[in-house]
Chain A
Amino acid sequence: MTLPNPAELLPRMATELQQLLASRGIEQAHFIGIRTGGVWVAEALLAQLGLDQPLGTLDVSFYRDDFTRSGLHPQVRPSQLPFDIEDQHLVLIDDVLMSGRTIRAALNELFDYGRPASVTLVSLLDLNARELPIHADVLGATLALATNERVKLLGPAPLALELQSLSA
């Protein structure tokens, strides 16, 4: 399978995001990346849009619904939101949208910081394997992987996608 090049997806994603925010009447939005790949995509999008603003970062480890099965990630780091999110428009960014559970965890975490006016979801890839009713508002590409395949974003610069096989 040929994987897309993130550098080719990002300009269109930036344009679509800009148009979407404008159509919703959103003049100023705060960007939040989900660690780790989502932060890299968020940084690349901000650069593409020529925006110089603080980026929020979320580590959703404490909000995962599989904690009792898989435990805490050993490299969990604190989330950092260098702005107030109450009544603010947020752009939430991740690298890969698969089941939707990471986004659910991120939304739960965001609401513990306050009640945003809106959340727009951006994802570089959608693996078309959703288990929850969560869709990206702006999407780079959709991939259909075999059950033993995963895709990983390498970064932070340059961004590249790598296909991985799960061992049996």
Chain B
Amino acid sequence: MPIDAKRSLQLNDQGQLRHFLSLDGLPRELLTEILDTADSFLEVGARAVKKVPLLRGKTVCNVFFENSTRTRTTFELAAQRLSADVISLNVSTSSTSKGETLFDTLRNLEAMAADIFVVRHADSGAAHFIAEHVCPNLAIINGGDGRHAHPTQGMLDMLTIRRHKGGFENLSVAIVGDILHSRVARSNMLALKTLGCPDIRVIGPKTLLPVGIEQYGVKVYSDLASGLKDVDVVIMLRLQRERMQGGLLPSEGEFYKLFGLTEQRLKLAKPDALVMHPGPINRGVEIESAVADGPQSVILNQVTYGIAIRMAVLSMAMSGQTAQRQLNAEEQN
């Protein structure tokens, strides 16, 4: 069974979120509930005391097997704003380098009474594996796994679009860059489809477009000019420099020349088109500085919305996991 088909793993018996591993298979109502809850949490960030007591007494453990300062920091802030205790571990420089297995590392953390694991891993499916086989009774949040999924990034992008465009029903959204290696692109395509976006376009060099990507219900372009025509939203992807060594791209300069978002090219989109990027941006590689800092850019808003989305996902998964434990206990009695 493909890992994305394991919808049941993510939801408890009452259909509430229990783990947050992938957007595949999650119903539109649940995605909307996450966006609505995040909307409420945005207001918390504007208060004198930027905290609510929802996760007071709970422990959130950020287990990062792969470096990511931004994602880790926003998860830390989100958990702290929910009043949780937070531990962040960079496992790549910790126990596993001393020979401890993933299984043992996580079971040790579980024994320290952690309630939620936020997992970032270079291998696709790592978060699923942990939720299914290692710590099923903890809420597992996927903070990005391999090329597979980055569901909280996908949802923060959806929140950004909804807050600036009001909805998804009449939008054309272009995702530009390295689609092949991008978990962000995959999560965005799934979320846009589920939320009813009628025109999703992926644009990139042919070497960075996966075979069979049309199955996501997207239109494929290898020419930026035709792909950007009259779109409402442009989501630029981060170009991983190591892809250059794999021979998939001739050079950064070549990529920028053909696929970099410049002020001139942005004019092909609608005049009020949003410019988004998951960060950190490579100026002069994926995007021109004048565009990244320009009036249509919502890149910094995405960061703010990311905290609210992560607060929503953490609290909803904690609640769903707790409810499941109660259901299990009631069944045993």
Contact = CB atoms under 8 A, between A and B. Distances in A.
Contacts, number: 57
Contact of A62 (B33, B40, B318): B40
Contacts of B331: none
Given A59-B40, A79-B43, A72 B52 contact: no
A50 interface: no
Interface in A101-145: 108-109, 111-114
Given A69-B326, A72-B54, 14 more contacts: A63-B52, A67-B54, A68-B318, A72-B37, A72-B319, A74-B36, A75-B36, A78-B43, A79-B43, A80-B43, A109-B52, A112-B49, A112-B52, A113-B49
Given A62-B40, A74-B33, A76-B37, A68 B319 contact: yes
Contact of B54 (A62, A69, A111, A112): A62
Interface of B: 16, 33, 36-37, 39-44, 47-49, 51-54, 315-316, 318-320, 322-323, 326
17 contacts: A62-B53, A62-B54, A67-B315, A68-B318, A68-B319, A71-B16, A72-B315, A76-B36, A76-B37, A77-B36, A77-B40, A78-B42, A109-B52, A111-B49, A112-B48, A112-B49, A113-B49
Contact of A78 (B40, B51, B323): B40
Contacts of B36: 74-77
Contact of B319 (A67, A111, A112, A114): A67
Nearest to B50: A112
A108 B47 CA distance: 13
A57 to B, nearest CB: 11
A114 B47 CA distance: 9
A64 to B, nearest CB: 9
B320 A62 contact: no
Interface string A44-69: 00000000000000010111000111
Contacts of B42: 78
A29 B54 CA distance: 30
The 4 closest A-B pairs by CB, nearest first: A71-B319, A78-B43, A62-B52, A112-B49
Nearest to B44: A62
Size band of the interface chain A makes with B:
20 to 34
A75 B125 CA distance: 32
Contacts of B326: 69
B330 to A, nearest CB: 12
Contacts of B47: 112-113
A80 B43 CA distance: 8
A114 B322 contact: no
Contacts of B316: 71-72
Contacts of B49: 111-113
Contacts of B318: 68
A35 B318 CA distance: 24
A63 B83 CA distance: 11
Of the listed residues A59, A62, A63, A113, the one surrounded by the most CB atoms of chain B closer than 10 A to its CB is: A62
Contacts of B54: 62, 67, 72
Nearest to B312: A72
Nearest to B40: A78
B42 to A, nearest CB: 7
Max chain B CB contacts within 10 Å: which of A61, A71, A77, A78? A71
Nearest to A77: B40
A72 to B, nearest CB: 6
B40 A76 contact: yes
Nearest to B326: A69
A111 B47 CA distance: 10
B39 A71 contact: no
Contacts of B51: 112
With most chain B CB atoms within 10 A of its CB, the pick from A59, A69, A109, A112 is: A112
A118 to B, nearest CB: 19
B53 A71 contact: no
Nearest to B29: A74
B81 to A, nearest CB: 10
A9 B36 CA distance: 35
B48 A114 contact: yes
